[in-house]
Structure 1
Amino acid sequence: MSNPGQSNMTPIKNRAQLIDVISSGCKQKNDWRIGTEHEKFGFTLPHYASVNRAAYAPPDYKSNGIEALLERLSGPEWSAILDKGNLIGLAGKNSQKGCSISLEPAGQFELSGAPLENLHETQKEMSAHFALIKEPASALGLGFAPLGFHPLMSRAEMPWMPKSRYAIMRRYMPEVGTLGLDMMKRTCTVQVNLDFSSEADMAQKMRVSLALQPLATAIFANSPFIEGKPNGWLSNRARIWLDTDNQRCGQPSAFFEENFGFEQYVDWVLDVPMYFVNRDGNYHDVAGCSFRKWINGEDQEPLRHMTPTIGDFEDHLTTVFPDVRLKQYLEMRGADAGTPEMMLAQSAFWVGLLYDADVLEETEKLVKKHPWHIYQALRPKVAQFGLDAEFPGGLRKLAQDIVKLAQKGLEQRGLGEGRYLDPLTKIAEGAPNQAEYWLERYKTVWNGDVRPIFDEASVTHS
């Protein structure tokens, strides 16, 4: 989840202003960029374990933990982001301009990458980030591993970071689903943010990518363990999203309709209950209130003396969690965090499918061979069974066809980016996905002990 930013205090006078917030994202194709965001779990290196912090336990905010790491990273390239005096993120400047580092609720460390021109730059950015945090993390006795769901700790054993918005979500989440706190504390994802040229281009990309998010979940599944044991799901992260808050998550049917556009998305967002309002750096708990009623002037006690602003709407956009989220760009949100190669492949997958008009058209024709509800019904199936989930004609066959189209799209770009899809080609052809690989390690090499996954998945130590 994003760091707090500067709020636009322009009062909302009509719905058209809200539509303009999103439509302002339209860009000429030459200006399309690739933004990759990825999260990872911190863990205590075994030789730094102590009475107060067990081996592989997540670091607290204090006690030589997350705060200390952020402090060590601060400097000429990064400026501090504070929340009531607490250091909760870093904004990139100079060579890191356009990047930011933020914290998920339990200290999951996230890089929000800069908008980049090609996947080679994405690969360099990712490698540079892991190199950046390696030395200061190791000095604090920490490692970092990108996995979709924490494989060892219970929800109660995961810490809380001092971000004000998380305190509001922590209170509200249990009212709207049984697994929302697990989503906050025990999941990590990777997403790619991509541009569109027009409302029609956005709508086509939305339909195609939303339908294919379950396929991405199956391919990138990387979370088969919970509290030290397999629990029969290849993506526990995806399982958690099935009962987090279904009013703001999943694959909303409205997004698949032929008349879908900026206006329809705004209407959907306005009917998603609010979390908070930020005034002068203070988060006010308005969870459950209606943004639509607020802009219509209807009385809601927590909002009685506040005027809705464009900044409030922009904040509200960050609190809806469909599998593809629309802001001034489209966010692909269906994949577990994974190895650097797989996280890069996730960006390559969607760039290949969505950034070439002919390939996008071919992909839409292929996807439309089945009604939209077939893809919606896939969400729970792929969380459990991956590419073995039931699908007309076989999900693995669909994976093969879609990966080939992504490859074609990258070849059309002529930048030599096709090699980044190699891991997906192997999985589509029958190689194990990440979750299946870890399960085999658990049964054989690890002798039923899940803890070696941290060392083997680490991106910060050899």
Structure 2
Amino acid sequence: MNKARKCIEERYFKNLKEKPEVFVGVELEFPIVNMIGGAIDIETVLSLMDMLVSEKNFSVEKVDEQGNPIQIIADRYDDRILFEVGYTIIEFAFDKAKNINEVNERFQEYFEIIQSYLKDFHHMLTGLGINPWWNTNNSKCVSDPYYKVLEKYIEMAKNHPHMHPYERWTTFVQSNQVQIDVGKDNLVDVLNVFNKIEVVKAWLFANSYFWKKDMNTGIARDFLWENSTHKLVKDQVGLFKKDFSCIEDVIDNFMHTAIFNIERNGKIYYIEPLTVEDYFGRNEVYAYDCDGNKIIVNPDYRDILRHRTFQYESLTKRGTVEFRSVCTQPISDTFAPTAFHLGIFENLQAVKDLLEDNFFFKIYGEDIVTLRRKFSRLDLSWIEKNEIRAFSKMILDLAQEGLKSRGLAEEQYLESLYRRIDTSTNPAEYGVKLFKRGYTLTEIADEFAFL
């Protein structure tokens, strides 16, 4: 077991520097919707990739099993555009940058090209965290070995009655993700502080209402993630239950996360998920390919190379912390989460001090899991709404201070968040209001699609 622990340290902690230069990485996922309604046309979205390669200075980096481009890279930058899990989701994965403005500039360029092309075929990208046509869309996963195995792994939920029945949920849930470089000196504080403000993020960024299911939450993505096969190992998804006191605690946490896929002789298999600790304590494990064929494998310490967690804050092998709990945002507010996270990071000590003795936790307690669920609800009382707004405003003001200290005018991206506080309405609440007023799903998707 000491060797397994050393493998975790080697994979995740060797790239941690003492005081790294701060870079920001941005990954943005958006649903493709058919504006006529119903399923997207696969040929249309495949032809989009062909157009970008043939006309817009992109090169093919990865193709599916039929030879269609599924991941392309910009010739001028290390930016990628790809299909994420299904052909219904476009992801923009940007090269690390020193400031948000340069990423936004490139995003606008790519987005306008893609949106213009899709609209010619009555399709478009929109800023909703759950595709409004989730139940009628083409939920075919990307024809790629990893995604096909992932699909089969997700389908294992049918063997567990307590899990939700939405086997294709990964093809209709989208997120807005941020990565920031961390060092040995601030890793623990970064994980603790950002975990503790998940209650603020729950209300401020809620934008994954589960259309036509009438669920009382603005973050159905939490429900879908946390009631899937990923949660068969309890620490694989979601929030940390308590603060970390040192890096050794973080390593302990990794030891209790899951290994759920492995590779043998160039082929990917999935397994019934096991903690790192449990997996490397076994002599043999059953593994399955996407055709259901079973083999017996002997755990190998190189299997740690395929390890990945889905916790809402997690250290990556690149020496960054990735923040994964935010829904896709309305297109015009795309970089609000990036700015929020970067501002908190730059003003971390002030935020930590604020959290030490705050009225909000005195009233509602400090069970972050319970608080995130509570304040993502759509039926908050006016007292609860006022208190989460006040707490969010305190945190947001500190994020603004952090960005202003950088002197790059990045605080402009927080303006939409101040509007949410002023109007007491987050995107999920706004979308539901439109829905109840009789707006069609097409009209709502269009409302959330403006750059």
Q: TM-score range with shorter-chain normalisation?
A: 0.7 to 0.9
Question: What is the TM-score with the length of structure 2 in the denominator?
Answer: 0.83
1:73 is the counterpart of 2:73: no
Partner of 2:111: 130
Partner of 1:6: none
Matches within 5 A, 1:317-396: 317=308, 320-327=309-316, 328-365=319-356, 370=361, 373-385=366-378, 394-396=387-389
CA distance in structure 1 between the partners assigned to 2:34 and 2:386 by the alignment: 45
Matches within 5 A, 1:307-322: 308-310=300-302, 312-317=303-308, 320-322=309-311
Following superposition, the deviation at residue 204 of structure 1 comes to 0.5
1:455 is the counterpart of 2:439: no
- SS state of the match for residue 233, structure 1? coil
Matches within 5 A, 1:168-179: 168-175=152-159, 177-178=163-164
Paired residue total: 428
Partner of 1:206: 191
1:224 is the counterpart of 2:209: yes
Partner of 2:9: 19
Following superposition, the deviation at residue 218 of structure 1 comes to 1.0
Q: Which moved more, 1:285-294 or 1:427-436?
A: 285-294
Question: What is the TM-score with the length of structure 1 in the denominator?
Answer: 0.82
Distance 1:79 1:154, change over 3 A: same
CA contact (8 A) 1:106 1:160 kept: yes
Partner of 1:238: 222
Partner of 2:244: 257
Unaligned runs of 5+ in 2: 288-294
Following superposition, the deviation at residue 381 of structure 1 comes to 1.3
CA distance in structure 2 between the partners assigned to 1:65 and 1:375 by the alignment: 43
Partner of 1:105: 86
Following superposition, the deviation at residue 452 of structure 1 comes to 0.9
CA distance in structure 1 between the partners assigned to 2:237 and 2:139 by the alignment: 23
Matches within 5 A, 1:403-442: 403-442=396-435
Unaligned runs of 5+ in 1: 1-11, 46-54
CA distance in structure 1 between the partners assigned to 2:39 and 2:448 by the alignment: 15
CA contact (8 A) 2:331 2:448 kept: no
Task: Note the alpha carbon deviations across 1:66-124, whole angstroms, 9 max, x for none.
Answer: 33322322354232313545546324253131435242336211111211111111221
CA contact (8 A) 1:146 1:457 kept: yes
Matches within 5 A, 1:55-74: 55-59=36-40, 61=42, 64-74=43-53
CA distance in structure 1 between the partners assigned to 2:449 and 2:194 by the alignment: 30
Distance 1:307 1:126, change over 3 A: same
In the alignment, residue 38 of structure 1 is paired with which amino acid?
L
In the alignment, residue 237 of structure 2 is paired with which amino acid?
C
In the alignment, residue 381 of structure 1 is paired with which amino acid?
K
In the alignment, residue 295 of structure 1 is paired with which amino acid?
F
Matches within 5 A, 1:22-171: 22-27=12-17, 29=19, 31-45=21-35, 55-59=36-40, 61=42, 64-75=43-54, 76-87=57-68, 89-105=70-86, 107-154=88-135, 158-162=139-143, 163-171=147-155
CA contact (8 A) 2:342 2:403 kept: yes
Distance 1:379 1:122, change over 3 A: same
In the alignment, residue 48 of structure 2 is paired with which amino acid?
L
CA contact (8 A) 2:261 2:268 kept: yes
Task: Note the alpha carbon deviations across 1:206-239, whole angstroms, 9 max, x for none.
Answer: 0111111232121111233513x75433233234
CA contact (8 A) 1:210 1:324 kept: yes
- SS state of the match for residue 234, structure 1? coil
Following superposition, the deviation at residue 335 of structure 1 comes to 1.5
Query: Residue 187 of structure 1: which of 173, 177, 184 is its match?
Result: 173
CA contact (8 A) 1:359 1:409 kept: no
CA distance in structure 2 between the partners assigned to 1:216 and 1:187 by the alignment: 17
CA distance in structure 2 between the partners assigned to 1:367 and 1:87 by the alignment: 53
Identity of aligned residues (%): 17
CA distance in structure 2 between the partners assigned to 1:341 and 1:309 by the alignment: 45
In the alignment, residue 425 of structure 2 is paired with which amino acid?
P
Q: Which moved more, 1:21-30 or 1:107-116?
A: 21-30
Distance 1:367 1:29, change over 3 A: farther
Distance 1:325 1:26, change over 3 A: same
Distance 1:70 1:275, change over 3 A: farther
Following superposition, the deviation at residue 182 of structure 1 comes to 5.6
Task: Note the alpha carbon deviations across 1:174-220, whole angstroms, 9 max, x for none.
Answer: 4452256364132111111111121x411101011111123212111
Distance 1:149 1:301, change over 3 A: closer
